[in-house]
Amino acid sequence: MSSVTIPPPECMLRPLEVPFRYLFGPGPSNVPPRVLAAGGRGIIGHMHPEMYEIMNDIKKGIQYAFQTQNNMTIAMSGSGHAAMECAVFNTVEPGESVLVAVNGIWGERVAEIAERMGANVHIMVKAPGGVFSNEEIEKALAKHKPVLFFLTHGESSAGLAHPVDGIGDLCRKHNTLFLVDAVASLGASPIFMDQQNIDILYTGSQKALNAPPGTAPISFNERACQKMFNRKTKPVSYLFDMAHLSNYWGNDGQPARLSFGPISGLLCLSHQYLVFVFPQGLEESWRHHREVAGYLWKGLEDMGLKLFIQNKDLRLPSVTTIAIPEGYNWREMLQYIMKHHNMEMTGGLGPSTGMVSVRGMLKF
């Protein structure tokens, strides 16, 4: 065998330096020291009994945050995108009809994911921040007869908290699974999975939950499980196959658990639920986000700035969006804020690019 010809990179011989930034964009968030410390605890095996106990606690925490009693509740490896793909890959088969509400970038992403795996995708489109009425949704359900309907609860690219009430009932009427993205809204804006008849709900750890990126809580109700575990074909992804993930989380009734999980990420998520979500309660978290967001909205409007979502009842408390002031370059503004104040804020994303100048996330 020949000798090593590629030398070790000099950059890897230097100490790692990560600058401190105020992360006021739509995510990730600045993580509290106590949560970071949880991730720095000793590693244990992903199939040790102690790890299973931690996972059981996390499952209960997710059920509380989602307001659900669903047994098929887990936190998977990856970002909110991972949960998004997991939901589509497991409940949709090639050739089946899927209906997607597109009023920002996340609907666009789901439509592309479903299209890539061979679904027959139909989209309902509104301008960024637009709201779909229940009448419009029912008309589309009746027309396309989808197996799955997707809606973003917290559309962070526009700063919209989309109403959910009544949509789950319509989906049940038309024998359609209701999939909701709550990545940017969970913990900041009320959502009730069981009461609102949401069949599949997911979020991400790095947004209003204020934990490090890398874990994605997701829950499937019994209707979704019936569809998911009675497929004619295997899901296109092995990694996101719920047959494996449900076993690792002890949800399939089998005595032996296999597979693996993100140990440090789960420790952080567990600690954040225990020290943040539970002590204050969901109602207080929702109230606090709304109250502080209200102060921010008033201050911005007092400065003469125009908020992108004009209806206060539809604003996402965790992500505030500002319409681009006439005559200003939003990129230059954000670069100035980063350079002089060490604060990260962002512009629009996807269809809201060029329309929204600042997207800032509030998290506690």
pLDDT given for residue 278 in this prediction: 63
Q: 33-49 b/e with 16+ CB inside 10 Å = b?
A: eebeebbeeeeeebeee
Q: Would residue 331 count as lying in a domain?
A: yes
pLDDT given for residue 270 in this prediction: 81
pLDDT for residue 360 is more than 60? no
Do 37 and 96 fall within a single domain?
yes
pLDDT given for residue 364 in this prediction: 44
Q: Would residue 3 count as lying in a domain?
A: no
Tens of pLDDT, residues 212-229: 888 999 999 999 999 999
Q: What mean pLDDT comes out for the span 160-166?
A: 97
pLDDT band at 44 (very low <50, low <70, confident <90, very high): confident
Do 190 and 262 fall within a single domain?
yes
Type of residue at 305? L
What's the mean per-residue pLDDT of the chain? Answer: 90
Q: Would residue 265 count as lying in a domain?
A: yes
Is the CB of residue 77 less than 8 Å from the CB of residue 266? no
pLDDT for residue 197 is more than 90? yes
The secondary element (H helix, E strand) that includes residue 97 is strand 97-102
pLDDT given for residue 275 in this prediction: 58
Do 271 and 286 fall within a single domain?
no
Tens of pLDDT, residues 125-141: 999 999 999 999 999 99
Q: What mean pLDDT comes out for the span 304-310?
A: 93
CA nearest neighbour of 75 among 37, 117, 115, 46: 46
> Total structural domains in the chain?
2
pTM: 0.93
Share above pLDDT 70 across residues of the chain, in percent, rounded to a whole number: 95
- Among 262, 277, 292, give the residue marking a domain's end: 277
Do 166 and 151 fall within a single domain?
yes
More confident residue, 285 or 26: 285
Q: Would residue 57 count as lying in a domain?
A: yes
Q: Which domain holds residue 325?
A: 11-30+282-360
- Among 277, 302, 330, give the residue marking a domain's end: 277
